[in-house]
Chain A
């Protein structure tokens, strides 16, 4: 599902500045369908792990209040140009998302 994730990592001094965008509906489960009056089932990414060259640097748990098409940014000290940043995410229905980029 590489096409679901957009990533960019750039060096700022000795720190890699990483920005990630994941395409996801992030449905809260608290909204009602206006026609059926039924709650729309929750569907949201709840775990995200980012790694630098295979070593975990960021381990996140998310609730339903992360915005639709989630954006997040983080910084890693000691990274070098060409280093590999990977992001693994999973939603509450078990769908997995994966993205990777090289530090520029």
Chain B
């Protein structure tokens, strides 16, 4: 047996395995994004339509949704927001900015140990209510809070 030939063959096999491992990791991100984007909900022009299209109509007001937003936002381009749902069985939270051209900002689904909590930065076109809706079982709950915007974040 030729030891040089052995080593060479081994290294070829290793390179081949590495290459396939790399291609697998590159393919992964695409496979993880399976749900289709809800175009109707995100392009709705009124909060009522947006809530309906996103599956959050018929919401009951609930004090068990904690919505943390600033009373006054100097820059509508970055309004920090934090939502915590203390409603048992919460599976998703949707965020709406009432007077934005398209009120639906985001729809978030929680699973496998994720707590019903989200923190994010949103854009607000003008002073308006931020409304968050929560899905728990087959029930919908909501909570709103007004944010005064000094400088709008959607115009130009």
Contact call B32/A51, Cβ cutoff below 8 A: yes
From B14-22, B106-114, B131-139, the one touching the partner chain is B106-114
From B1-9, B56-64, B96-104, B141-149, the one touching the partner chain is B96-104
B119 near A: Cβ within 8 Å? yes
Question: In the bound complex, what is the Cα–Cα distance between A15 and B100 (angstroms)?
Answer: 34
Contact call B111/A56, Cβ cutoff below 8 A: yes
A8 near B: Cβ within 8 Å? no
Q: How big is the A interface, by class? A: 35 or more
A23 near B: Cβ within 8 Å? no
> A12-56: which residues lie under 8 A (CB-CB) from chain B?
15, 19, 26, 28, 30-32, 34, 40, 46-47, 49-52, 55-56
Q: Say yes or no: A65-B108 contact (C-beta < 8 A), given A51-B32, A74-B117.
A: no
Question: In the bound complex, what is the Cα–Cα distance between A59 and B33 (angstroms)?
Answer: 9
Contact call A66/B105, Cβ cutoff below 8 A: yes
Contact call B154/A28, Cβ cutoff below 8 A: yes
Question: In the bound complex, what is the Cα–Cα distance between A19 and B38 (angstroms)?
Answer: 25
If A67-B121, A77-B115, A88-B32 are given as contacts, then 8 extra A-B residue pairs at C-beta distance below 8 Å, sorted by A number, are A30-B155, A31-B155, A64-B42, A64-B123, A65-B100, A72-B119, A73-B118, A88-B29
Interface residues of B (CB under 8 A from A): 28-30, 32-33, 35, 37-38, 42, 77-79, 82, 97, 100-102, 104-115, 117-124, 153-156
Ordered by A's residue number, 8 sampled pairs between the chains whose C-beta atoms are within 8 Å are A15-B115, A52-B112, A57-B112, A60-B106, A68-B77, A72-B118, A76-B113, A78-B113
Minimum-distance CB pairs A-B, first 4: A31-B156, A73-B119, A67-B121, A57-B114
